C-alpha cells in the first residue's frame, strides 16, 4: 500500500504528493514556485554550555554521537568531500547499528560505491532511507524497491535550500575534516587527508542541531584558514584517518580517451567559439565528466592562441583548471569541489582559487547566486528527449545509478550545453521522453553529439549567432533519427513497477519527477 497519491506536475510527470509521510509540492515551472515563510533556524545556544577554553574534543565518535543525543528516527548527515574515499559515514551507522538504533534518515551530500557497507544497515533497519545522490550500489538497491522509505534526490543547491528552508531538519551532522582544531574550526585544504573543501557541509554546520567534527589532523587553535566555523560545532573527535584523498579522482573525473568523445569535446569548443561566447572576461563551468574535461583542454588552447582571458572559471577544479589559473588565463577559479590533488594544492596555495559552497554557488532560495552568472556550462546527461529535457540519474533500463550533483543548478547558466554521445552500448541517448526528467528543456540550450549539434529552438539568439558556422547543426529530431537508424530503433522500454522508490527534487524543493522500482 502506498501512502501517497500521484499528481501531474508542470512538466507532465506523475509525482507523489507526499514523501515519507510529508506533503510535497509538485514542480510548478521554472521560477514559478514562490516560497513562503521563514528560513529554518536552530535553537539558540549559549556559551555558558560550552567550555571556556574552547576545547570540545571528546573521546571517540561513539561518545560524540551519544552526547549529541543519537536516537531512533533521527536525521544524520555526512558529506562527500572524499567522494569514493570516505571513511567516516560507514562508521557512524556501524555504531548506530551496534547501539540498536533504528529508522535513521541518512542525509549525505552524495554516496559512492565505498558506502556499500551501508546496505547492511538498510537491511537491519538502522537506516530507514537515504536522502541524497546515490552513485552505484545504493541506487541499485533502491531501484529494486528494497529501501524502506522513499529516497529523495536533490542537487547540491537543492540540498542547501532544503536545509535552509527547514524541509530537512538535521539532528546530527558529522563533518569529516582533514584538519581541525579542538574548537571545531576545520578545513579540507591541508593535512594528510586534504581533499580540498568542505563546502557541502556548510548548511549542516549552520542548521543542524548538533555538529560533530571528525578529524585525523588536530592542530592548535586557530585552524586558519577555516572553511567551517567552530562557533557552529558541538564536538570534535580525533580518529586515525577520515578519508583517502586519492579516491577523490574517481568515476567521472578522468579525461576521456574515446575518439568519439574527443570529437564531441572539440565540436563543443568550436560551437562556443562560433557562437561568440569566448571573449575576454567570459566565464565557464565544465562538469566532472571526461568529455567536459576534454572541452576545457580544447578551450584553453583556443584561449592561448587568441589571447583571451576568462574572468572566472567555475570548478569542480582539476589540474587543467589549475593550469589555466597559474598561466593567467583566468582571474579566478570559483571552486565548489576539488576533483584531483592538483585542485587541492591550488586551493591551499593560491588566493585566487576561491573556496565556495552551495550557498555561494547554487542555493536557489537566496538573493541570487553564481550559477546564473556563468556564461556557459558544459554538462553530461544519461538521456535527453525531443523537448531537450535531461536525465542524469537513471539509465534507460530505469535503474537509479547516479546523483544530480550541481547539474540542475548549473542549468541556470546563460548557455547550457550537453556534449553527449549519440548512443551508449547501442542504446540511443536521444529519446522520445526521458526516463527521469531532472532538468526541464527550457533551460537546456544545446546538445552536441559526434554526429551533429542541436540547438534548442527557444534559443533563437544562438541559432542566429551560429548560422554561418561550419559545424553540423541539425534538429534534435534529425539526431534522434540517426541514432535510431544506427542502433536499430528506439531503446527498449524499462520494466518498471508501480512503487515510487525515489523523488527527484527541483532546485526550489518541488518534485520534478520520480523514479520507479525496476522489475
Residues that bind its own copies (CB under 8 A): 31-48, 50-54, 56, 164-165, 183-184, 211, 220-222, 224-225, 229-234, 281, 311-312, 332, 334, 351-352, 354, 359-360, 363-370, 372-373, 412, 414, 508
Whichever of 202 and 438 has its CB closer to its own copies, that residue is 202
Whichever of 100 and 281 has its CB closer to its own copies, that residue is 281
**382 Cβ contact list (under 8 Å, min separation 6):** 391, 392, 393, 394, 395, 396, 402, 429, 435
Task: Find the distance separating the first CA and the last CA of the chain, reported in whole Å.
Answer: 17
In whole angstroms, give the CA distance from residue 379 to residue 417: 6
In whole angstroms, give the CA distance from residue 489 to residue 484: 4
Question: Least CB distance from residue 138 to its own copies, whole Å?
Answer: 31
Whichever of 20 and 185 has its CB closer to its own copies, that residue is 185
Instruction: Give the three cell numbers for residue 298.
Output: 580544447
Question: Least CB distance from residue 331 to its own copies, whole Å?
Answer: 9
Strand partners, 269: none
Question: Least CB distance from residue 379 to its own copies, whole Å?
Answer: 18
Whichever of 252 and 363 has its CB closer to its own copies, that residue is 363
Question: Least CB distance from residue 448 to its own copies, whole Å?
Answer: 23
* Cα angle: 289, vertex 86, 182; to 5 degrees: 125
In whole angstroms, give the CA distance from residue 202 to residue 186: 11
Whichever of 181 and 266 has its CB closer to its own copies, that residue is 181
In whole angstroms, give the CA distance from residue 137 to residue 237: 29
Question: Least CB distance from residue 166 to its own copies, whole Å?
Answer: 9
Question: Least CB distance from residue 434 to its own copies, whole Å?
Answer: 24
A 10 A CB-CB count for 40 gives 17
Whichever of 91 and 413 has its CB closer to its own copies, that residue is 413
Question: Least CB distance from residue 164 to its own copies, whole Å?
Answer: 7
In whole angstroms, give the CA distance from residue 471 to residue 256: 22
Whichever of 52 and 468 has its CB closer to its own copies, that residue is 52
Q: Which residue has the cell 592548535?
A: 220
Strand partners, 338: 317
Amino acid at each position: 500500500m502506498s501512502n501517497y497519491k500521484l499528481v501531474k506536475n508542470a512538466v507532465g510527470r506523475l509525482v507523489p504528493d507526499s514523501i515519507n509521510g510529508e506533503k510535497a509540492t509538485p514542480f510548478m515551472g521554472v521560477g514559478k514556485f514562490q516560497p513562503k515563510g521563514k528560513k529554518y533556524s536552530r535553537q539558540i545556544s549559549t556559551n555558558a554550555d560550552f567550555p571556556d577554553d574552547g576545547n570540545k574534543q571528546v573521546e571517540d565518535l561513539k561518545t560524540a554521537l551519544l552526547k549529541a543525543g543519537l536516537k531512533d528516527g533521527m536525521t544524520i548527515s555526512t558529506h562527500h568531500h572524499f567522494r569514493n574515499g570516505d571513511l567516516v559515514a560507514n562508521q557512524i551507522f556501524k555504531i548506530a547499528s551496534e547501539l540498536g538504533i533504528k529508522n535513521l534518515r541518512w542525509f549525505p551530500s552524495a554516496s559512492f560505491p565505498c558506502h556499500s557497507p551501508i546496505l547492511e544497515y538498510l537491511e537491519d533497519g538502522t537506516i530507514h532511507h537515504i536522502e541524497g545522490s546515490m552513485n552505484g550500489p545504493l541506487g541499485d538497491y533502491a531501484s529494486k524497491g528494497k529501501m524502506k522509505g522513499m529516497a529523495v534526490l536533490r542537487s547540491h543547491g537543492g540540498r542547501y535550500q532544503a536545509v535552509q528552508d527547514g524541509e530537512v531538519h538535521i539532528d546530527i551532522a558529522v563533518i569529516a575534516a582533514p584538519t581541525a582544531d579542538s574548537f571545531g574550526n576545520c578545513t579540507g585544504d591541508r593535512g594528510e587527508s586534504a581533499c580540498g573543501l568542505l563546502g557541502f557541509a556548510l548548511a549542516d554546520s549552520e542548521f543542524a542541531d548538533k555538529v560533530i567534527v571528525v578529524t585525523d589532523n588536530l592542530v592548535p587553535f586557530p585552524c586558519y584558514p577555516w572553511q567551517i566555523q567552530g562557533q557552529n560545532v558541538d564536538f570534535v573527535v580525533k580518529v586515525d584517518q577520515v578519508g583517502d584523498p586519492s579516491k577523490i579522482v574517481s568515476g567521472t573525473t578522468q579525461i576521456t580517451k574515446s575518439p568519439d568523445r574527443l570529437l564531441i569535446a572539440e565540436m563543443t569548443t568550436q560551437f562556443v567559439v562560433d557562437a561568440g561566447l569566448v571573449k575576454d572576461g567570459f566565464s565557464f563551468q565544465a562538469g566532472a565528466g571526461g568529455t567536459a574535461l576534454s572541452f576545457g583542454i580544447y578551450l584553453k588552447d583556443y584561449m592561448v592562441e587568441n589571447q583571451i582571458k576568462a574572468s572566472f572559471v567555475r570548478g569542480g577544479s582539476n589540474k587543467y583548471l589549475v593550469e589555466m589559473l597559474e598561466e593567467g588565463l583566468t582571474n579566478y577559479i570559483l571552486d565548489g569541489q576539488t576533483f584531483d590533488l592538483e585542485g587541492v594544492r591550488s586551493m591551499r596555495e593560491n588566493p585566487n582559487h576561491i573556496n565556495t559552497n552551495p550557498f555561494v554557488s547554487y542555493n536557489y532560495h537566496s538573493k541570487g547566486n553564481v550559477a546564473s552568472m556563468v556564461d556557459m556550462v558544459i554538462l553530461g546527461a544519461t538521456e535527453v528527449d525531443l523537448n531537450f529535457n535531461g536525465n542524469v540519474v537513471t539509465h534507460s533500463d530505469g535503474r537509479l545509478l547516479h546523483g544530480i550533483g550541481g547539474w540542475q543548478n548549473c542549468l541556470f547558466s546563460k548557455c547550457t550545453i550537453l556534449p553527449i554521445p549519440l548512443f551508449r552500448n547501442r542504446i540511443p541517448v536521444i529519446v522520445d521522453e526521458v526516463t527521469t526528467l531532472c532538468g526541464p528543456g527550457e533551460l537546456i540550450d544545446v546538445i552536441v553529439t559526434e554526429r551533429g549539434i542541436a540547438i534548442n529552438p527557444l534559443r533563437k539568439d544562438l541559432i542566429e549567432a551560429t548560422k554561418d558556422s561550419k559545424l553540423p547543426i541539425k534538429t534534435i529530431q534529425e539526431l534522434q533519427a540517426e541514432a535510431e537508424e544506427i542502433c536499430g530503433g528506439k531503446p527498449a522500454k524499462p520494466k518498471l513497477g508501480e512503487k515510487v522508490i525515489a523523488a527527484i527534487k527541483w532546485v526550489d524543493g518541488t518534485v520534478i519527477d520520480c523514479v520507479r522500482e525496476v522489475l
